[in-house]
Structure 1
Amino acid sequence: MPNLIQLNIQDNLLGKFLAFNKYSTHLAERLEYVDLSFNAIHQLHISIFDGHLRLKTINLSHNILSDISFDMSNLLTLEILDLSNNNIQAFSKDVMNTISNLEKSSSLKIDLSENNFQCSCKTLSFMQWMLENHHIFIGIQSYRCNWMNNSVFTKYPMRQIVLQLEKECASYTVLIACISCGVAVSCVVLVGGLTYRYRWRLRYIYHMTRSKYKRYRPILDDGHYIFDAFISYSDDEKDFIVGDIIPNLEEKESLKLCIHQRDFLPGEDITQNITNAIHEHYY
């Protein structure tokens, strides 16, 4: 195995095995050609080609790969990567970066023919990358593309495909932005309307909660209250309340009243004082 130069193990249904294992446990420093075609491979062990210092050709055609799952970063001598007749729709960002770095220091060529690429907004960056690196791809003008409606396959030049995608995706982005803004505005209006409609109830709940946690008040479980009654009145009724009601109730009836001018705590918010007064009187 250490002196092996060419390895052809095509058409052996090794897909399940090679997904988690290497085809050899020994280093293959002299290996230049590997043929793994027709093996129903859906993914390869990440380090399957580690130690292949002279590898020039990898044939992975006629499998069911959807992306490159193995590490390519150390394949500095690789010249041909045959991925034709697979299920590749696009490469991941990491794979694109790895191939771009390899291409700078090698004469790498990739065959992606007979893969049904997805021409959609999701794969736009992959299409743009292919256009920028078109010299890497063997027979790129014959590549087919499955459009977003899944109904039309095209063999248009790559540049025309990318321009069409950029146009459609720009419109799609604007539409999504408009819908998102509309939903956001609707939510704000709805929340604002509900808040305004139940504003007094919300204020009451707020002050009740604030009173519970911000101020010490004894727990009145025995039914005793600080005041017998809380009297709320407007300035127009002040003379009647002060001159008649308070003297009659406090002096004649011996009731203890809560009067805001007299019994509210100085410096406390008016709504907080009212809330406390309501819960500290009997009537």
Structure 2
Amino acid sequence: MIHLENVLAENIYISLPNLDIFQFNTKLKSLTIRHTDLSHLDPVFFRSIPNLEVLDFSNSKLKSLDFLAQVDLSALRYLKLTDNELTVINETVFQSLPALTYLDLDNNPFTCDCSNAGFIQWVIGNNQTQVVNAHQYTCSFPGAEQGRKLLDFDVQSCWMDVGFLCFISSTCLVVLTLLSSFIYHFLRWQLSYGFYFFQAFLYDSRKKKKGTPHQFDAFVSYNVHDEAWVYRELPVLEEEQGWRLCLHHRDFQPGKPIMENITDAIYGSRKTICVISQHYLQSEWCSREIQMASFRLFDEHKDVLILLFLEEIPDQQLSPYYRMRKMVKRRTYLSWPQAGQHTGVFWQNSTPQTGTTLPPEPLAL
């Protein structure tokens, strides 16, 4: 039957017929085989019938369409594969069917996940092939998607590589952790200084605009461990020299933020006296006070900072406090141990009367 063009075989074959059954039917244009087990279909089966235009393999237990990518059916325009076991379809198989205009895949157990994303996009986007009732195709897998429409699956989520995103996120987290640890260990004081430097700059700008007069002659920055010395010795400045001193315990406003109290005290005083000891160097708040006072010194270019050392501190112990060490090397400072028994002369010669400016060279150096 070399001129045979149409074959319809329904409930005839139990399984795939011989591969060479159509070797003499090269003019075959329509082939329908239904209710047959074609799950192991070999592409060689189509080698002798390249002119097929209609192919119907409904209810034939097909699990994949990959065989279509290995055959030459350039004239095929009608393909019906209903009631099979197709779960995932690779959209690239349709590239080997350039003439396809009609496709029926109804009643197949489709999987609604990213493995079908390409097929879903092809169904929605192609303008040549009519996919019959595609909007009615339902999901059978996975269980959470069962009963939903295949074309309702969100394919946009499939273009995001979750593994790659997790890798990038974890890498960024590790780098951020390492960077934070590095900054905290090596640069925390520089960042803290920069923050308070900027804060003081803003505060100073506001004060200059307002032209606020000084409320005190000097703000005394000291550590709580040196409180007894401050209470014992510094009253001399107020009682005998007429200074108005700003002290933490007495002049800080209750309920006000500590840094705001410190800033107001430094900029509300003509001078800042830093009573430096080992305890002072180890205090975080004292460090912030001298940082703020240093900014005012750099900003106003005036002699507004007085360093008073309560004890002899070796140069190597000042090395970690490079800003303090730098100021000690460049500026004159007061040394209480060198005053000895002549404390009265020390205060008389190293402090001026109220309203005057401290001399650049104090007595005890």
Higher relative contact order (Cα pairs below 8 Å, separated by 6+ residues): 1
Distance in 1 separating the partners of 2:172 and 2:96: 43
Structure 2 residue 114 is matched with structure 1 residue 118: no
> Equivalent residue of 2:44, what SS?
coil
Structure 2 residue 158 is matched with structure 1 residue 169: yes
Cα 1:5–1:128 change in 2 (3 A) is: same
Structure 2 residue 170 is matched with structure 1 residue 180: no
Cα 1:53–1:169 change in 2 (3 A) is: closer
Per-residue CA distance 1:201-250 (angstroms, 9 max, x = gap): xxxxxxxxxxxxxxxxxxxxxxxxxxxxxxxxxxxxxxxxxxxxxxxxxx
Partner in structure 2 of residue 98 of structure 1: 96
Per-residue CA distance 1:83-114 (angstroms, 9 max, x = gap): 11111123225413223xx1xxx353111111
Distance in 2 separating the partners of 1:27 and 1:187: 69
Letter in 1 for 2:158: C
Per-residue CA distance 1:20-65 (angstroms, 9 max, x = gap): x415152312222211111021131112122324422111001211
Greater mean deviation of Cα atoms: 62-71 or 143-152: 143-152
Structure 2 residue 120 is matched with structure 1 residue 127: yes
Partner in structure 2 of residue 4 of structure 1: 4
Distance in 2 separating the partners of 1:36 and 1:178: 47
Per-residue CA distance 1:163-184 (angstroms, 9 max, x = gap): x232x435xx365334334666
Residue pair 2:58, 2:80 contacting (<8 A) in 1 also = yes
RMSD: 3.1
Residue pair 2:112, 2:145 contacting (<8 A) in 1 also = no
Cα 1:137–1:32 change in 2 (3 A) is: same
Query: What residue ranges of structure 1 are gaps of 5+ in the alignment?
Result: 189-283
Cα 1:149–1:177 change in 2 (3 A) is: farther
Cα 1:176–1:146 change in 2 (3 A) is: farther
> Equivalent residue of 1:179, what SS?
helix
Cα 1:3–1:120 change in 2 (3 A) is: same
- Shift in Å at residue 120 of structure 1? 0.7
Structure 2 residue 139 is matched with structure 1 residue 141: no
Partner in structure 2 of residue 24 of structure 1: 21
> Equivalent residue of 2:79, what SS?
strand
Structure 2 residue 149 is matched with structure 1 residue 155: yes
> Equivalent residue of 2:83, what SS?
coil
Partner in structure 2 of residue 89 of structure 1: 87
Residue pair 2:39, 2:61 contacting (<8 A) in 1 also = yes
Residue pair 2:103, 2:131 contacting (<8 A) in 1 also = yes
> Equivalent residue of 1:48, what SS?
helix
Partner in structure 2 of residue 200 of structure 1: none
Per-residue CA distance 1:246-276 (angstroms, 9 max, x = gap): xxxxxxxxxxxxxxxxxxxxxxxxxxxxxxx
Cα 1:11–1:181 change in 2 (3 A) is: same
Residues matched between the structures, number:
174
Letter in 2 for 1:153: G
Residue pair 1:37, 1:61 contacting (<8 A) in 2 also = yes
Letter in 2 for 1:67: S
Cα 1:57–1:154 change in 2 (3 A) is: same
Cα 1:53–1:181 change in 2 (3 A) is: closer
Letter in 2 for 1:121: C
Distance in 2 separating the partners of 1:187 and 1:44: 52
Query: What residue ranges of structure 2 are gaps of 5+ in the alignment?
Result: 176-365
Letter in 2 for 1:10: E
* Aligned sequence identity (%): 18
Letter in 1 for 2:26: E
> Equivalent residue of 2:43, what SS?
coil
Q: TM-score, normalised by structure 1?
A: 0.52
